Structure 1
Amino acid sequence: MKINILKKALEEGKTVFGPFCKMLDPTIVELAALAGFDFVIIDMEHGPYSIETVQQMVRAAEARGITAVVRVPENSETSILRVLDIGAKCIQVPQISTAEDAGKVVKSAMFHPKGERGMCRYVRAGDYTAIDKSEHFGRSNESILTIIHIEGVAGLENLPTILTYDGIDVIFLGPYDLSQSCGVPGQVQHEKVIKRMEEAVVLARKSGKVVGTFVETVEDAKKWEKIGVQYIAYAVDTGIILNAFQQITTKLINN
């Protein structure tokens, strides 16, 4: 079974960077890999992806040596199962507010004894039975990376109990939804939001968990890295391309 290179990098204490993707063409995954990013996040929650498209994006990532993380649309057994069965090894689950929510993620993502993931070896994750079933069912738990989104005040208040749940690898702090929950929607640099996030980073790190967050500038990426954030989602493919286009057209027009 192939090693999950993103999980290995995080376990070694490395900081990793990658954009969210909403564009449907696997070319964007290849471009991210060629640019030197460590991962891409295929966004099924806010993006227009079907499971068939996600499978092609995962294939493109594997071909180019980059890791595909899939943000599932919701914390449901079916959503998580289908993404894992098509071969994704890293899942990102939104809107986690309680330890019970975190437990549901582990239950859906892991085979016995950690969870109750639905069993089928005739899928891409099992190489369509080309690998022995004992290897697929016996070693898959080792290779899965679970990332949960803490996106509201309730999740932060319950973070101490969430952190005690075995099987969660990364605590991802979502600044935009958190800003709304703090009463300052969209103001991700507001002191209320920053203070809550910094406290969560310290708490999670003390518990031995990897922490992730979303940034839109290199400066913010470096700031959170210094604070202890290892898993950094850098902006979104559509915004990155728009900004690049605008920089070009501004120069063309002004000159």
Structure 2
Amino acid sequence: MSNFKERLKNGDQLLGPFLNLNYPAIIEMAGLAGFDFAIIDNEHGEIPIESAINLVRAAKAAGITSIVRVYENNPELIGKALDMGADGVQIPNVGSKEAAEKAVKAAKFAPFGERGCNRYVRGGKYSAMDRTEFFGKSNERTSVILQVEGQDGVASLPEILKVKGIDVLFVGPYDLSASLGIPGQVEHPKVIAQMEEIMEQAKQVGVAIGYFVDDIETAIKWKKRGVQYISFACDANLLYDAFKKSTTLFQNS
């Protein structure tokens, strides 16, 4: 089992940014700064799946867990991300038990899944890793994070949570707010109430909860509420905020 998965099972609360910029040094800096993980974003950022491998390499060098968010629940994309050596995959828009099963099967080798078998990839150390170790232990090491973002997923949550192999159930508050008819109002009582209901259901079956936040104050708030996998903003806006703070102070001095 990976250290990341062990920490989740032990109840640790972990913090990491989304990465939208295709520059390996950023994930190295995230690791050096003490973040627990980073999400390499193939869904919304400028990082194509083929380029993610260099960010995964940089993450390994910096000792930070690499999670690749694929842009759809597609077995080929999920398998490719793991073949690159990513520690885990994050799958968007999971709205049913069937979708959850499809994602988990794509991330696991037989007999627990249907991931394509090829050890001549970075994930298998280009065949330097013993085949028994690669095929035998990858299922245990790989983290699977499923995103619930709409009311279809919320309604299906009792069935989704029955699927074995889910490490984190991630809630996207912006999409959740939109599905409730209040787009962008992530602090609205309806969003908070639904998030708390989701957390309670996940807690009952021992699945860690993930949540996206824009700022560190909100991250601390949700940490106190028990969220374990806290996605903190993204590299682009963190860099912009630092730039803007400096220019504003300079111009107003």
Class of the TM-score when normalised by the shorter of the 2 chains: over 0.9
User: Is the partner of 1:238 in helix, strand or coil?
Assistant: helix
What is the identity, as a one-letter code, of the residue corresponding to 1:196? Q
Measured in 2, the distance between the counterparts of 1:49 and 1:37 equals 20
CA distance in 1, matches of 2:75, 2:25: 30
Task: Give me the CA root mean square deviation.
Answer: 0.9
1:66 aligned partner: 64
Shift of 1:4: 2.2
Deviation at 1:81, TM superposition (A): 0.7
- The match for 1:30 is 28
Q: 2:230 aligns with which of 232, 241, 246?
A: 232
Residues 180-189 or 143-152, more deviating? 180-189
Partner in structure 2 of residue 221 of structure 1: 219
Q: Write the letter of the residue equivalent to 1:151.
A: E
- Contact residue 150 and residue 172 of structure 1 kept, 8 A: yes
Matches of 1:236 and 1:126, distance apart in 2: 29
Q: Indicate whether 1:192 and 2:187 are aligned.
A: no
* Structure 1 segment 107-146 matched on structure 2, within 5 A: 107-146=105-144
Tell me the amino acid that sits aligned with residue 216 of structure 1.
D
Residue 38 of structure 2 corresponds to residue 40 of structure 1: yes
Q: Which runs of 5+ in 1 are unaligned?
A: none
Matches of 1:122 and 1:51, distance apart in 2: 18
Following superposition, the deviation at residue 123 of structure 1 comes to: 0.8
State the partner residue of 1:75. 73
How far 1:51 moved relative to its partner? Answer: 2.6
State the distance in 1 between where 2:29 and 2:127 align.
31
Q: Which amino acid aligns with 1:63?
A: A
Match of 2:87 in 1: 89
Instruction: Output the amino acid matched with 2:99.
Output: D
- Deviation track 1:116-173 (CA, whole Å, cap 9, x = no partner) reads 1111111111111111111111111010000000001111111111111111110001
Question: Equivalents in 2 of 1:154, 1:9: separation in Å?
Answer: 30
CA distance in 2, matches of 1:153, 1:193: 11
Instruction: Pick which of 44-53 and 224-233 moved more.
Output: 44-53
Q: Provide the C-alpha distance between the structure 2 equivalents of 1:34 and 1:58, rounded to a whole number of angstroms.
A: 15
What residue number does 2:206 align with? 208
1: CA distance, partners of 2:200 / 2:217: 20
Tell me the distance in 1 between the aligned counterparts of 2:197 and 2:143. Answer: 24
- Where structure 2 has 5 or more consecutive residues not aligned to the other structure, the ranges are none
TM-score (norm 1): 0.97
Q: % of aligned pairs identical?
A: 49
Residues of 1 paired with 2:15 and 2:155: CA distance?
Answer: 27
TM-score (norm 2): 0.98
Deviations 1:177-231 (A, max 9, x none): 1111110111111111111111101111111110000011222112211221100
Q: Match for residue 47 of structure 2?
A: 49
Q: Which deviates further from its counterpart, 183-192 or 58-67? A: 183-192
Give the Cα separation in 2 of the matches to 1:103 and 1:81.
Answer: 15
In the alignment, does 2:147 pair up with 1:149? yes
Amino acid at match of 2:29: L
1:12 is displaced (CA, Å) by 1.6
Matched with 2:8 is 10
Q: Which amino acid aligns with 1:134?
A: T
Q: Distance in 2 between matches of 1:44 and 1:158?
A: 26
Query: Which sits farther off after the overlay, 3-12 or 122-131?
Result: 3-12
Mapped partners of 1:129, 1:217: distance in 2: 42
Structure 1 residue ranges, 4+ long, deviating more than 2 angstroms after superposition: none
Q: Deviations over 1:59-109 (max 9, x none)?
A: 000001111111011001111011011111211000001110100011101
Cα deviation digits, residues 23-47 of structure 1 (max 9, x gap): 1110110111111111110000001
SS in 2 for 1:232: strand
